[in-house]
């Protein structure tokens, strides 16, 4: 199998470009360039044309080999798709339509070119499913850990983007998906090794390895006017809830009785010797959304979730106790919620 050293930078870029084009054309029904792309890959910079009356939303994420992805757990295609979903989740939290991406890669010279093309195809295919395409990037040689960095641009109607700062006391709290499953999948893979690859853990492993986009739900919800604030919870539900509360100047109550039962997470907690709520609330890789919802529009929010086939649970409410997050037990006990979100630097030595 040829390596980057053997084919060279220009040929590697050309092959990646063809992979992006194939993936994008398949999702867009054969459209060659993509709406808004005046000039794509092949020049010093891409030329893009935002739609009139739109604001641009920009996000970026980087994956470092050995920390955000490991070759034994992910195929190259899955690694590329997962990087795409990390960025798509941020745009979903802003109710932004994904449009254009820039991919930068730090790779060793012995990296297999065919595996790199597979990674590019997986990334481009995941982006194209939500209407975005790769329009440029960069490749650099490294001697240590490899890394991948994606910048994704999206659009929202001018002044209509969701932020963390719009929530009000009395709003309801809702969360998509099943928080904690990705964290459980990662821990199962780390501790059980090959034994975690069996069918009994497939749902949790897939939650970690194959996240789902929430862009379609976000855009559907944006039409209802139900959402007052939103945040992606990939760093952990409790920590990101605290960030939303700080930005909005509100407090929150999470009610255990409102959490939907998750037998998969409970079984993983028992196997791992970890409280399932620690998995659900603590640091995670769940590319899900936490939403502040106008209580008068709860039904519209639930209908949007049904229309997009998205699991959605109402798990609490917001109040006037600024920056105070309280956990309400099933026995009505109340205690501060102190679980922290993921921190790249305090976790660096763990």
Q: What DSSP assignment string belongs to 128-189?
A: HHTT-EEEEEEEEE-SSS-EEEEEEEEEEETT----SS---TT-EEEEES-TTHHHHHHHHH
Rg (CA), the chain: 21
Report the alpha-carbon distance of residue 112 to residue 225 in Å, rounded. 48
- β-bridge partners, 139: 105
* pLDDT higher than threshold 60 for residue 236: yes
| Binding-site entries for ATP | 137-138, 164, 234
Half-sphere exposure of 242 (CA within 13 A, CB side): 18
pLDDT of 134: 95
Report the alpha-carbon distance of residue 91 to residue 56 in Å, rounded. 10
pLDDT of 336: 87
Of 346 and 262, more confident:
262
* pLDDT higher than threshold 90 for residue 185: yes
| Binding-site entries for Mg(2+) | 44, 59-61, 90, 138, 232, 235
pLDDT of 279: 93
pLDDT of 177: 96
Q: What's CA 54's distance to the chain center, in Å?
A: 23
Q: In 10 A of CB 261, how many CB atoms?
A: 7
Positive or negative torsion for Cα 303, 175, 166, 217: negative
| Binding-site entries for substrate | 68, 285, 342
pLDDT of 266: 96
pLDDT digits (tens, 9 = 90+) for 89-105: 999 999 999 999 999 99
* pLDDT higher than threshold 90 for residue 248: yes
Of 342 and 30, more confident:
342
Reduced DSSP (H G I as helix, E B as strand, rest coil) percent helix, strand, coil of the chain, to 5: 40, 25, 35
pLDDT of 71: 72
pLDDT digits (tens, 9 = 90+) for 31-86: 445 678 898 888 889 899 999 999 999 999 999 998 887 777 789 999 999 999 99
| pLDDT grade for 198, boundaries at 50, 70 and 90 | confident
pLDDT of 86: 96
pLDDT of 285: 87
pLDDT of 26: 47
Domains of the chain with bracketed CATH: 4-157 (3.30.1330.10), 172-336 (3.90.650.10)
Give the whole-number percent of the chain exceeding pLDDT 90.
71
pLDDT of 165: 97
Of 36 and 150, more confident:
150
| Binding-site entries | 44, 59-61, 68, 90, 137-138, 164, 232, 234-235, 285, 342
| pLDDT grade for 303, boundaries at 50, 70 and 90 | very high
pLDDT of 16: 87
pLDDT of 344: 57
* pLDDT higher than threshold 70 for residue 206: yes
pLDDT of 41: 85
Give the whole-number percent of the chain exceeding pLDDT 70.
93
Average pLDDT of the chain to the nearest whole number = 91
């Amino acid at each position: 199998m040829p390596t980057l050293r053997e084919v060279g930078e220009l040929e590697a870029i050309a092959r990646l470009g063809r992979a992006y084009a194939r993936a994008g054309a398949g999702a867009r029904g054969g459209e060659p360039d993509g709406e808004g792309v005046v000039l794509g890959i092949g020049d010093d910079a891409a030329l893009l044309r935002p739609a009139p009356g739109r604001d641009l939303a920009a996000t970026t994420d980087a994956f470092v080999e050995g920390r955000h992805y490991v070759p034994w757990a992910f195929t190259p295609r899955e690694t590329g798709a997962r990087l795409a979903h990390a960025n798509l989740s941020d745009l979903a939290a802003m109710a932004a339509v994904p449009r254009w991406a820039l991919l930068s890669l730090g790779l060793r010279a012995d990296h297999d070119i065919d595996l790199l093309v597979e990674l590019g195809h997986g990334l481009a295919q995941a982006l194209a499913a939500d209407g975005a395409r790769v329009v440029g990037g960069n490749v650099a040689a490294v001697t240590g850990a490899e890394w991948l960095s994606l910048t994704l641009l999206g659009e929202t109607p001018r002044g209509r983007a969701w932020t963390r700062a719009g929530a009000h006391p009395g709003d309801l709290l809702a969360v998509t998906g099943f928080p904690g499953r990705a964290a459980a999948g990662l821990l199962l893979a780390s501790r059980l090794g090959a034994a975690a690859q069996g069918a009994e853990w497939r749902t949790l492993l897939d939650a970690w390895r194959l996240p789902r986009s929430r862009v379609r739900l976000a855009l559907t919800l944006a039409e209802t006017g139900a959402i007052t604030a939103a945040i992606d919870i990939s760093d952990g539900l409790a920590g990101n809830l605290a960030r939303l509360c700080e930005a909005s100047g509100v407090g929150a109550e999470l009610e255990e009785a409102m959490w939907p039962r998750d037998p998969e997470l409970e079984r993983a907690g028992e196997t791992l010797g970890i409280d399932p709520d620690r998995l659900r609330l603590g640091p995670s890789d769940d590319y899900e959304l936490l939403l502040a919802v106008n209580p008068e529009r709860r039904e519209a929010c639930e209908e949007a979730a049904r229309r997009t086939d998205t699991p959605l649970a109402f798990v609490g409410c917001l109040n006037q106790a600024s920056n105070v997050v309280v956990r309400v037990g099933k026995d009505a006990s109340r205690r501060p919620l102190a679980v922290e979100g993921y921190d790249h630097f305090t976790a660096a030595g763990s």
